[in-house]
Amino acid sequence: MKTFSLSRTAIVARKELVDLLRDRKSIFWALFAVAISGPLVLCILYFVTKAVSERIDKITAPIVNAQFAPDLVRHLERRGVKIDANPVDYEARVKRGDLDAVILVDPDFASALAQGYPAKITLITESSRDRSSPIAAKLSREVQSYAARIGAERLMLRGIAPAVAMPVKVEELDLSSPEQRGARLLQIMSFYALFAGLMGAIAAALDVTAGERERQTLEPLLTTPVTTSELAVAKWFAVSSVNLLAVTISLSGFLIALQFVPLAKLGVPFNFGAREFMGFMAVLIPFAFMVPAVLLAMGAAGKTAKEAQSSLSMGASLVGLLPMISFLRQTQAPWWDAFVPVNGQYAVLSKVLRSEAIPAIEWAAMWLIPVVIATVAVYAFSRRLGDEKLLAGR
């Protein structure tokens, strides 16, 4: 079969697309999952962040033995902290999580303070509980501010400038621009956009490979003049179109969700406009064509739908796990990371969100690497479609 007919390829591609889109239930659920999951995570993150900042603003300090430190209580009250004097059974309640942290005043606090010894305050907390730690940190900062005030007053009484006791002052200069700080929360978007470029392809790839074999329609097809390379290209094109649809739906889902989630109120000046949308599409279009090629090559290897499904889910989890490395990595990414499929895409998408300049070589990698991988995978796929061993069911 040396000839390659474009018109036959178009006939197959059109039929595959019609066939795929008529599979309403699986297509609907795949696209629905893609459309909803990213925005859902965004909303959850928004509400969690909001709840945490509200809890820290309206803080209550449970103080045991408050009567020994009336001055501290007054200080806290002036700073807007509500006081819960002498909570009962506080250790058990901290353990259970009813209380986030408790300030325990030493019975000798007043006398130690009067004599100029360090007066003891114990902060009881449960550090393994994530939601308690910001509250504990806030309480600790408030007590520190009381201590700093007393210290400064003592120095002034002795005629010493408080600055003398502060030989070094640490000032933090955070270099991340406001956009960058917002983008950190929204890197989740990069992840879910790539996720869409995978989810949209799985069901379709399974259907046109193992599904065709299992429904026994591949054999009749191969007795017509259509060649395996025409079939492979057509099927790849059809699955990629569905995948591209999934990616577009996912991004649109984010665009809509961002209209309803007032991120600006949280101090996250986030921008996902036309420029970012175009940047995302420029990365995701080649990606949406690369993933199906790989999945098809894997799916065609199976003799049954079940075999195909397991070899296909291997490919799927690979795509899903690679960005986890970027998520969890503590050190800076090595230079070649930009050229690893999936990871490179993830890095460039994050740069688009952070409004960073993207070098031409990285743009080239976004297109050239998928083209190479897709070519090899589609070739392998076409070879497998005509494999006599799989045909004979052996």
Q: Is residue 385 a contact point for other proteins (CB under 8 A)?
A: no
Of positions 226, 282, 358, 390, contacts other proteins by CB under 8 A: 226
Going from the C-alpha of 218 to that of each of 5, 181, 227, 303, the distances in angstroms are 19, 52, 12, 12
Report, in Å, the least distance between residue 327 CB and other proteins: 38
Q: Which stretch binds other proteins (CB under 8 A): 18-26, 89-97, 104-112, 351-359?
A: 18-26
Least Å from the CB of residue 240 to other proteins? 20
Q: Sign of dihedral through CA atoms 66, 72, 75, 81?
A: negative
Q: Quick check: 333 binds other proteins (CB under 8 A)?
A: no
Q: Which of 12, 13, 347, 353 is the binder for other proteins (CB under 8 A)?
A: 12
Q: Does 6 bind other proteins (CB under 8 A)?
A: no
Burial of 202 (0-12, 13-18, 19+ CB in 10 A): buried
Q: Binding pattern to other proteins, positions 191-220, x when CB under 8 A?
A: ------------------------xxxxxx
Q: 150-154: long-range contacts at Cβ-Cβ below 8 A with a sequence spacing of 24 or more?
A: 150/113, 154/116
Assess 224 for contact with other proteins (CB under 8 A): yes
- Which value, in Å, is the radius of gyration of the alpha carbons in the chain? 30
Report the SS3 class of residue 240: helix
Piece of 75-83, 125-133, 223-231, 371-379 that binds other proteins (CB under 8 A): 223-231
25 forms part of the interface with other proteins (CB under 8 A): no
Report how far residue 69's alpha carbon sits from residue 279's, in angstroms, rounded to the nearest whole number. Answer: 59
- Minimal CA–CA distance to 209: which of 287, 307, 286, 288? 307
- Of 23, 91, 179, 337, the one binding other proteins (CB under 8 A) is 23
How long is the chain?
Answer: 394
Contact residues for other proteins (CB under 8 A)?
A: 1, 3, 8, 11-12, 15, 18-19, 22-23, 215-226, 388, 391-392, 394
